[in-house]
Amino acid sequence: MYKKLIAIVSSLIALIVIASGIYYFFGSNNSIKEEHTKYLALINDSHDFKGGLAGLETLDNEKGQEAFKNIKTEIKIAKELKNTDVSLDNKDVDAAKKSLDKVDSLTTDNSFDKAIEWLKEDITNYEKAQKEIKDAKSDDINSILDKYKFKHSALKVKLSESNSSSQKNVETEKQNTSVETKPVKASRKNTMGATIPDNVTSLQQEWIRRGGDAEMLTTVRNSYKNVEKITTNFNSLHQANPDDPITIYLEMRDGTRKTAEFDYAWASGAFVGYTVHVFDDNFYITVN
């Protein structure tokens, strides 16, 4: 009788242990999936790219990788989406488009479609408004700007600033024409179409003045301790336009590659110095 009772109790204990294990496994798995869904919603619905990215990074562990095979790719996409959002807030539409191109190359499903469309809509509206302003016969652009809704208000400010700058240039040219009939000197422009003030040292001259490749690449290396190799496309004998940005390539120890440019720094349309912009991290290194 005693042995039979022990056998029954042992069986019950074994069943409890098995049931607890099954509950823990499925409960833990469901919890991870709920967290994953929450972090995607932060990015897609709340557009909290920083918070969503931070959340996804917490799932980059053994359990998370087992539950979500593409978690590392999702983290890379979330980083580029965050970079796009930051670039648009900084009025840097070109950098935002580059980040979205990287998102397109990484995307394998529709997990981030809503966030991608949300960001692309601002870029599309910016380019449409920019074209309309350029073709407008009237100087009043408010009616054009009011047609488009920007989630990143900095884009609306940039369009307004660009138009004001263009009007000032037109007025200056008119004044110069009325005072004298001398030929107007062609303004300096780089390949991106940016106008460079005559009193500003060219990028080529500034690069050389600051010590050339050795000193400039050391400046970049100081901000990236895990860099394996840094090279540049700079060649003073073959650079067609001395105002064109100088490209820098960073080979990281983990095998990845980052691209940066030594370029002019602007604030509210005015020249404020020189900077190195690392596109992959949307990181600016001040070299002044």
pLDDT in tens, 93-133: 999 999 999 999 999 899 999 999 999 999 999 999 889 88
**What is d(CA 135, CA 46) in angstroms, rounded to the nearest whole number?**
36
**What is d(CA 131, CA 127) in angstroms, rounded to the nearest whole number?**
6
How many C-alpha atoms does 179 have within 13 Å on its Cβ side? 7
For residue 51, the model assigns a pLDDT of: 94
> Chain centroid to CA 102: how far?
10
**What is d(CA 260, CA 71) in angstroms, rounded to the nearest whole number?**
27
Q: 243 with 196: CB under 8 angstroms?
A: yes
**What is d(CA 93, CA 225) in angstroms, rounded to the nearest whole number?**
29
Residue labelled with tokens 């060219």 = 202
* Domain extents in the chain: 10-167, 191-288
pLDDT-flagged residues of the chain (< 70): 1-29, 139, 163-186, 190-193, 236-239, 288
For residue 167, the model assigns a pLDDT of: 56
**What is d(CA 19, CA 90) in angstroms, rounded to the nearest whole number?**
54
Tally the residues of the chain.
288
pLDDT digits over 47-66, tens only? Answer: 999 999 999 999 999 988 89
For residue 244, the model assigns a pLDDT of: 84
What does each C-alpha distance from 67 to 2, 25, 57, 274, 279 come to in angstroms?
46, 12, 14, 46, 32
Extract the tokens encoding 286. Answer: 């001040």
* Range 132-142 burial, b when 16+ CB lie within 10 A, else e: bbeeeeeeebe
For residue 142, the model assigns a pLDDT of: 83
Residue 182, SS3? coil
Nearest to 205 by CA among 234, 247, 166: 234
**What is d(CA 234, CA 244) in angstroms, rounded to the nearest whole number?**
10
How many C-alpha atoms does 282 have within 13 Å on its Cβ side? 22
